[in-house]
């Protein structure tokens, strides 16, 4: 039986690149996101290029129904890899967002990865192992609004789960990129020119390093030396310096 990887948020950016590189490794892929047409186009491309089975599962992970649909697929015994990648940022300050907007954001960034990881772990224990990759962010090491707080949960959960389940063949890795050239920042209407070129990474590099660390069994992966330094400062640096790096945030 060919092993399968399920990737959330797979229409573009890091999710699409995770799907591509896992298909390149020979995995069948299940692509999930909200946009069915874009998913089908991506699945067709991967199936044609890598000769793997690529299927789509349209779902909105801010809803109970969407998460349940994906969890049911994750629980199947052919699933050897789960990539919890779906996510987005909010442009406004915390107080300026409706409470429901913040709750939907939390559901996608925390509740969905928790429930999908729960389904994956239970299935992978039965099949003798597997890998869970949770896309976090270096923002999780720095106090910077609700996005940062959610990613901090992802990092700590992944670190604990990797320690707890590693001996039973399941590895859990939080991949923590910094700024990456994807649609993520465009959706926030963010002016990318405000940040120097050295801070930007390519999706190919982030995913390649993330997969390397995941398959090596690491609990946390921070692609590039520059961001490993930033993460270390955020985790252990003087609070005044951390606050300066964080800025006002949300």
* Residues tagged active-site: 147
Contact 201, 181 (CB under 8 A): yes
Close Cβ partners of 35 (under 8 Å, ≥ 6 residues apart) = 11, 58
Contact 82, 127 (CB under 8 A): no
What b-and-e string marks burial along 212-244, b requiring 16 or more CB atoms within 10 Å of the CB? ebbeeebbbbbbbeebbebbeebeebeeeebee
Question: Exposed, middle or buried, 127 (CB in 10 Å: 0-12/13-18/19+)?
Answer: middle
Widest Cα–Cα separation across the chain = 54
C-alpha to C-alpha distances, 216 to 13, 25, 89, 180, 220, nearest whole angstrom: 23, 15, 30, 23, 11
- Would you state the structure tokens that stand for residue 181, as one six-digit string? 């050239």
Tokens 């015994």 belong to 77
* Helix, coil or strand: residue 143: coil
In this structure, the chain runs to a length of 250
Query: Cβ–Cβ contacts within 10 Å for residue 126, how many?
Result: 10
């Amino acid at each position: 039986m060919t092993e399968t990887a399920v990737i959330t948020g797979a229409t573009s950016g890091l999710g699409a690149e995770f799907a591509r590189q896992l298909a390149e490794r020979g995995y069948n892929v299940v692509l999930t996101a909200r946009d069915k047409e874009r998913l089908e186009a991506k699945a067709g491309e991967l199936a044609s290029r890598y000769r793997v089975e690529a299927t789509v599962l349209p779902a909105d992970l801010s809803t109970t129904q969407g998460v349940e649909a994906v969890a049911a697929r994750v629980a199947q015994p052919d699933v050897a890899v789960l990539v919890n990648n779906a996510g987005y940022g909010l442009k406004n300050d915390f107080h300026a967002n409706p409470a429901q907007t913040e709750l939907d954001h939390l559901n996608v960034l925390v509740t969905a990865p928790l429930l999908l990881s729960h389904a994956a772990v239970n299935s992978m224990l039965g099949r003798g192992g597997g890998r869970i990759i949770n896309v976090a962010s270096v923002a999780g090491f720095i106090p910077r609004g609700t996005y940062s707080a959610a990613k901090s949960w992802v990092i700590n959960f992944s670190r604990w789960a990797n320690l707890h389940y590693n001996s039973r063949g399941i590895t859990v890795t939080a991949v923590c990129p910094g700024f990456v050239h994807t649609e993520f920042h465009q959706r926030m209407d963010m002016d990318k020119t405000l940040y120097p070129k050295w801070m930007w990474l390519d999706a190919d590099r982030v995913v390649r390093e993330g997969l390397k660390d995941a398959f090596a069994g690491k609990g946390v992966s921070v692609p590039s030396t520059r961001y490993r330094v930033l993460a270390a400062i955020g985790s252990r640096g003087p609070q005044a310096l951390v606050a300066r790096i964080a800025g006002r945030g949300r």
